[in-house]
Amino acid sequence: MSTLTATTRSTRAELMRLRAWPAVWITLGAWLLLSIMFGYLFTYLSYTSGDASFADEGTTQAEQLARMLPDAVPDVFLQGMPMFGGALMMVLGALVAGNGYGWGTWKTLFAQGVRRTPALLGSVTALTAVVLTTLVVTLGLDLGISLIITASENQDVVMPSFGSVTEAFGAGFLVLEMWALLGFLLGTLARGPALSVGLGLVWALVVENLLRGVGQLLGWVESLTEVLPGTSAGSLIGGIVGVGAGDGTPGVLDTVPVGRAAITVAVYLVLAVAGSVLLVRRRDVA
């Protein structure tokens, strides 16, 4: 059996497992809820009440309304991904890989002679399909909400350009895929879901923020933070939406140029897959 055929079969089997796994739907639902809350709900409540919320302090009602219209969808679509979306995708990636060890799935497969690399690549491909599905659903939901608000406020419908949507979708994919695959690598490294989820969340939500704070005092730490995954993901999104580090959107930064940030994120993505394959091929899974 060729590697491509084996990978395809493994992908199909993994997709069947993920479709029936509540953790996938809970993760997707949590992300959509956060996206709606921080992208539209708080802004809409601030707009209708006439009082600026913590997310819209210093903005006028006209500016708040503009943020909720269709042509602003690419920016709204991206803003929560570096922090909330990335953390959730890392958790999902760690669960996908780690539970394979916790449930004895990998041990059973490899003991029956299933080739390790195609099986792992099939799992990674299925995880990528979940990431793409999450992006498509999020984009469709944001667009639907913005159209409802446009109709309710009697505004002209101005759709975002194809180029802006494509750019936002590509950047969102790089960010969420990177975090998902880093979570997958942690799950493979720890051989279980609990430790890998904990380590991933501590790193993404605590360690990098602390290092960025220390970097303001120590030059070498600041140089280090510029190549970290969270800084790169936040800078990639910040470079597209035009939001600087001081504008209050969690995780959105302007630390490094957008081109360099995109390359760094892509490098992490490749290294995460290569590291996972190397660990599975070299180690005893028992």
Cα dihedral value 112, 118, 119, 124, nearest 10: 170
For 177-186, write each residue's pLDDT tens digit: 999 999 999 9
For 123-168, write each residue's pLDDT tens digit: 999 999 999 999 999 999 999 999 999 999 899 899 999 999 999 9
Q: How confident is the model at residue 59 (pLDDT cuts 50, 70, 90)?
A: confident
Q: How confident is the model at residue 245 (pLDDT cuts 50, 70, 90)?
A: very low
Question: Mean pLDDT, to the nearest integer, of 17-46?
Answer: 90
Please say if the pLDDT value at position 54 is more than 70.
no
Question: Mean pLDDT, to the nearest integer, of 7-22?
Answer: 89
Task: Name which of 28-42, 81-95, 170-184, 234-248 the model is least confident about.
Answer: 234-248
Query: Cα separation of 59 and 47, whole Å?
Result: 10
For the whole model, what pTM was predicted?
0.90
Residue 185 near residue 272, CB atoms below 8 Å: yes
